[in-house]
Chain A
Amino acid sequence: MTGRQAAALLIRSLQRAPRSFALSVFGIAVGISVLGFFLALSLGMQKRVLSRIFPSDRIEVVQQKASVDQGGLGALGALGALLGGPQQLGNDVIAKLRSHPDVEAVYPRLKVAFPVRGWGGERIVGKPIYTDLPIDGIDPQAVSEVTVPWAFKDYVSDKNPFCTSDQNCQSGWFCSWDINKCEPPVPVIISPTLLEFYNGSFARMYGLPRLSGFLVGQLRGMTATAELGKSFISRRESGKPRQRKLVLVGVSDRAQPFGLTVPLPYVQRWNAEYAGERAASEYSSLTVQVRPGRSVTRIVELVRKLGYSIEDNGAEQAGLAVLLMTALFVLVSLSTLVVAALNIAHTFFRAIAERRHELGVMRAVGASQADILLLVLGEAGCVGLCGGLVGLLLARLAGLGIDYLSRTALPDFPFKPSSYFWFAPELLLALLLFSVTICLLGALLPARAAARQSPAEALTAK
């Protein structure tokens, strides 16, 4: 039997019992649609939400923590701990990491190790906001390719002119009264995450304008005041408090997610002054940018071998949560599919019992056992294909519906995606194959029984 002949027979065989065919297709479609819906949702969450919150092309290297979390490689770390605490993040590590082939760049970061508070933001909110400021510094190099590289630099110098008030200084500069010198404001970058949270919750709560596109550009040049060594929250004070002007120069995902990021040299100087030399001589973390297309795994290995840890940014937990949810729903939809497959088996057993004479006649006019097997499995494959297509269509429609509802009925929230789903072509293909496979499995036993029965018995059956 050739493929064309088989196809012609199949089509006419399916046409004769449209209702039973439709029922089988429906059973499969339900399972596949639920499965497709949740897998696409999971993929969509990974791709459109998690990857925005937790970029996967870079890792944050930190000092090893108290030596509990290490596995086999931990012996080295434990030894290091015995020989005088965790290893410091210094320039030698940076050099080692930079020489790794998968590493595009390594940028040291340093957190401000003393309290800072600040106020500003009149231009958006209308009145100043008072808050403690988490500040960290990053190698200005890190920002060179994004936003405004020329603005994100250390401009402080001994040769800055003398002043007693801002009027003595050139436009845009301010008088640092504690040292009586004109200085440019400290350039600050903020993260898209911070913007998202502003837009998604803060702006909505206080009825403020959303900041996106050119509005973000308008923010540029906005100044605020920071007071070093003081806090609104704690009474902790250190050193001699002083005020510095800050100026927002851009939005970059190199900035820390919740806080302000300034050029590293500022933080090094400030830490040396307010928290001691040691706080200035090492880094609090290293941002390692992975080369495009490379994976982080080998770098992570190297980091562990060198005796350092990877900052846990919550990506794993969030990914795990999504995975668990997905697994749950996949289990549910798989059980629907098992039921559908059993239904197929049942339907086909009944069908071949009803068609015993027909199968006998086919054998009599020249069908081999393999031909019969092929015909029965072919019908099941058609059910699987149609069920898969219908199911995927249903899933897609459900996805579109939910995206539409989210757009029109849900308020903004941070990282609200335009679509929660990603119907990857590979996913569609895999599900279609899966659907066909399930049906073939369901029909396997009936098909074997049909092929193996003796034609004489099939023809004489009552």
Chain B
Amino acid sequence: MEPESNQPAVPDPRAASEVPSGETPCIVVTGLRKRFSDGEVLRGIDLVIRRGELVGFTGRSGSGKSTLLHILGGLDRGYEGKVSLLGQDLATLSDRALANLRNRHIGFVFQAFHLLTHLSCLDNVLLPNAFAQEPLGRMQAEERAMAALTRVGLADRRHSRPSELSGGQKQRVAIARALLFQPEVLLCDEPTGNLDDFTGQQIIDLFVELNRDGLTMVLVTHEPRVAQATTRLLSLQNGLMVPPQSLEPSR
């Protein structure tokens, strides 16, 4: 089922050793390469992320962190190598099946929040339900959305437009949206990049809390503060994944 059973195209003892037997890892990446028109950004990434981990990616600007995160979340299919999420090889999935996987099992949080400006907070949080293959009924969906908004502490702002919120509040609405269907994994691309220290810390605290409740998380970040919250920190350098030099490895 896992790439390790194939002929090992890229030998990676670490990946194999870190998979606890009997449990499917959340994410398994083998020999991942990504090339843009102006050069190769990822040059053979091997990576295993187990369930319940809070993994941080660091690396210089332009090192390919966002690119990697997009590939892990099934937002970018133009890569070489193998990427498995929750035991499913992304390359073998149809567009519809991949969309379903994103809908039900993956949550995304972006630096720029990416809320839909013409929808209220509640409707933004409800957006995944619109694209669900079997959408929840209005009542049930709103109940869930309210639960997610309550979780991020914004239940009272459900009717506000994103433009009426502060940056931290916007990011929390975006997190609530990612949590609507209680995904297995949350992929966050510099979630505190646009926030001040205090607000950023609140978001980090929220992530730690979510992780404690069992959510697997992948965080792209520049900030040492965020990095400190991770259970494992990895760095992208020259298109390869290496343990970071400058930051404390874990808390």
Q: Closest Cβ of chain B: how far from A354's Cβ, in Å?
A: 11
B36 to chain A, nearest CB (A): 10
What's the least CB distance linking B50 to chain A, in Å?
24
Q: Which of A294-316 contact B (CB under 8 A)?
A: none
In the complex, how many angstroms separate the beta carbon of A89 from the nearest chain B beta carbon?
Answer: 73
The answer, among A1, A15, A459, for a CB contact under 8 Å with B131, is A1
B 117-150 binary contact with A (CB < 8 Å = 1; else 0): 1110001000111111001000000000000000
Q: Does A215 belong to the interface (CB within 8 Å)?
A: no
Task: Tell me the dominant secondary structure on chain A's binding face.
Answer: helix
Does A317 lie at the interface of the complex (its beta carbon under 8 Å from any beta carbon of B)? no
Checking B95, B102, B123 against A365 with a beta-carbon cut-off of 8 angstroms, the contacting residue is B102
**B103 at the A interface (CB under 8 A):** yes
- A-side interface size class: 20 to 34
CA distance A363 to B119 in the complex (A): 17
Q: Do residues B114 and A366 form an inter-chain contact, with CB atoms below 8 A?
A: no
Kindly count the residue-residue contacts between A and B in the assembled complex, taking CB atoms under 8 Å apart: 87
- Write the chain B residue with the least CB distance to A455: B75
Contact of A459 among B70, B102, B135 (CB under 8 A): B70
Task: Convert B64-91 into 0s and 1s, putting 1 for each residue whose CB lies closer than 8 angstroms to a CB of A.
Answer: 0011001101011110000000000000
Contact A13 B118 (CB under 8 A): yes
What's the Cα separation between A60 and B119 when bound, in Å? 70
Given contacts A15-B118, A366-B104, A367-B131, contact A459 B99 (CB under 8 A): no
Cβ of B207 within 8 Å of any chain A Cβ, yes or no, is no
**Contact at A459–B110, with CB atoms within 8 Å?**
yes
Q: Does B100 interact with chain A (Cβ within 8 Å)? A: yes
User: What are the residues of chain A within 8 A of B66 when measuring CB–CB?
Assistant: 460
Judge whether B14 is part of the interface by a CB distance below 8 angstroms.
no
- What's the nearest-Cβ distance from chain B to residue A362, in Å? 7
A350-393 CB mask vs B (1 if < 8 Å, else 0) is: 00000001101111111111110000000000000000000000
| CB atoms of B132 and A366 under 8 A apart | yes
Contacts of A362 in B (CB 8 A): 127, 131
* A364 and B75 contact, CB distance less than 8 A: yes
Chain A residues positioned under 8 Å from B102 (CB to CB): 363-366
Using a Cβ–Cβ cut-off of 8 Å, how many residues does chain B contribute to the interface with A? 36
Residues of A within 8 A of B95 (CB): 368-370
Report the nearest B residue to A9, measured CB to CB. B130
Known: A366-B102, A371-B99, A456-B67. A12 touches B119 (CB 8 A): yes
- A2-B135, A361-B127, A370-B95 as given contacts; A456 in contact with B76, CB under 8 Å: yes
Confirm or deny: A408 has a beta carbon within 8 angstroms of a beta carbon on chain B. no
CB distance from B110 to the nearest CB of A (A): 7
B99:A368 contact, CB within 8 angstroms: yes
- Establish whether residues A459 and B114, one from each chain, have CB atoms under 8 Å apart when the complex forms: yes
- A147 lies within 8 A of chain B by Cβ: no
Interchain CA distance A349-B190 in the complex, whole Å: 30
Shortest Cβ distance from residue A344 to the other chain B in the assembled complex, whole angstroms: 21
**Cross-chain contact B123 with A12 (CB below 8 angstroms):** yes
A1-49 residues at the B interface, CB under 8 angstroms: 1-2, 5-6, 8-9, 12-13, 15-16
8 sampled A-B residue pairs with Cβ under 8 A = A6-B130, A16-B117, A16-B118, A363-B102, A364-B73, A366-B102, A454-B77, A456-B75
Sorted nearest first, the 3 A-B pairs with minimum C-beta distance are: A366-B103, A456-B70, A456-B76
| Other A-B pairs, 7, CB within 8 Å; known A363-B75, A368-B98, A459-B75 | A12-B123, A361-B114, A365-B127, A365-B178, A366-B100, A368-B95, A370-B96
- Taking Cβ atoms with an 8 Å cutoff, the residues of B that contact A are 66-67, 70-71, 73, 75-78, 95-96, 98-100, 102-104, 108, 110, 112, 114-119, 123, 127-132, 135, 177-178
